[in-house]
Amino acid sequence: MKRTPLYQAHVDAGARMVEFAGYEMPVQYPMGVKKEHLWTRSSAGLFDVSHMGQVILRGENVKQELEALLPVDVIGLGLNQQRYGVFTTTNGGISDDLMFTNWGDEEIYMVVNAACKEQDVAHLTNNLPTTSVEVVDRALVALQGPKAREAAAKLLPELKALVFMQSTKVMWNDVELWVSCSGYTGEDGYEISVPNENATAFCQALLALEEVEWIGLGARDSLRLEAGLCLYGHDLDQSTTPVEASITWAIQKVRRAEGERAGNFVGADVVLQHFAEGVSRKRVGFLVEGKAPVREGVDIVTESGDLAGSVTSGGFAPSLEKPIVMGYVQTDKLEQPLFASLRGKLIPLTPAKMPFFPSRYFRG
């Protein structure tokens, strides 16, 4: 298994390490998953996300060429602005979700999922005719929570004014950091790319602040679930279109039918047809009655036991003190009572708008 540049720091902090996307990653620290989750909601959590893929695309036509692969507005993205996107397949499915940043007329910085990074780099290399694709070997950490901004400002005062989905480059101890105001917890905070050799020192400087504690993959998962955010390979995959996944907000009007640059992306005919005609199933959220967590793979059924869908992410939500799930349900069954079929019992599900816990992104 691979290790991130921060592996020894996790071991020294007492982390329990597990395999994740081919890496040895910290699933939890001595504080425990629930306390780590609540710490991030009340203070500032530090996450190692160095397993994710960092890529720089360079070329005169980088934006036009990338826009042919993504169903989102690449050309219109402002300088030093970040955007969420997905790679689509010819059948309209999603092969990965990602974040990308406009670093200038001829440069885009992209972060892709760890389990998909090799296929994503191959996809980019094979389909961007005049654009160079550079895989960057750097550490990546996320600082998340209501006190993340004040904590970061003690080391990097210039980050205080950064707003959601903006990015910047700053110097810390003569080291260049790449920072975006984003993250995957629903909280305010930053994702920070750091040279490998400086990663441990930078994290130690953050951890020396009383607001900051290490947070593992266990709490990262429960935080993103409360925030209604998808996990690739679970809530998104190649059999799911953006419309089915309820992420239509990510596809700007300029790329939809009647838009100035409508279609012209991989799988556009299927995706635009789903926009026009609707879909037979879609991703929705539910609160779960009782205390028993309902996990991925559990069937969602009607009162008579007819299969209506299945859970793709589920667990106990520490901030709400109750179990929650998201999953795919047949749209013609959404108006009737639905249940999780758990070990022969029918557990009532209450439809809930996502995010389950209010997002607190800083928009200035």
* DSSP 8-state code for residue 73: -
Out of 3.30.1360.120, 3.90.1280.10, 3.40.630.40, 3.40.50.300, which CATH number does the structure's domain 1-277 have? 3.30.1360.120
In whole angstroms, what is the distance from residue 352 CA to residue 125 CA? Answer: 41
- Residues 154 and 101 sit within 8 Å (Cβ to Cβ): no
pLDDT at position 5 is 98
Write out the residue limits of the CATH 3.30.1360.120 domain(s) in the chain: 1-277
In whole angstroms, what is the distance from residue 65 CA to residue 288 CA? Answer: 44
Tens digits of per-residue pLDDT, 49-92?
999 999 999 999 999 999 999 999 999 999 999 999 999 999 99
In whole angstroms, what is the distance from residue 259 CA to residue 280 CA? Answer: 25
Write out the residue limits of the CATH 2.40.30.110 domain(s) in the chain: 279-352
pLDDT at position 172 is 98
pLDDT at position 46 is 99
Written out in words, the top-level CATH class of the domain with range 279-352 is: mainly beta
What average pLDDT score do residues 193-200 get? Answer: 98
In whole angstroms, what is the distance from residue 73 CA to residue 66 CA? Answer: 10
Tens digits of per-residue pLDDT, 301-344?
999 999 999 999 999 999 999 999 999 999 999 999 999 999 98
pLDDT at position 119 is 98
pLDDT at position 301 is 98
**Residue 297: band (very low, low, confident or very high) from pLDDT cuts 50, 70, 90:** very high
pLDDT at position 201 is 98
Full-model pTM: 0.97
Query: Residue 224 is inside which H or E element, if any?
Result: helix 217-226
pLDDT at position 139 is 98
* Selection from 141, 137, 262 nearest residue 190 by Cα: 141
Tens digits of per-residue pLDDT, 107-154?
999 999 999 999 999 999 999 999 999 999 999 999 999 999 999 999
**Annotated binding site for substrate, which residues?**
191
Q: pLDDT averaged over the chain?
A: 98
**Annotated binding site, which residues?**
191
In whole angstroms, what is the distance from residue 222 CA to residue 228 CA? Answer: 10
**Residue 215: band (very low, low, confident or very high) from pLDDT cuts 50, 70, 90:** very high
b/e map of 13-46 (b: 16 or more CB within 10 Å)?
Answer: bebebeeeeebbbbbbbebebebbbbbbbebbbb
Q: Is the dihedral of CA 334, 296, 342, 310 positive or negative?
A: positive
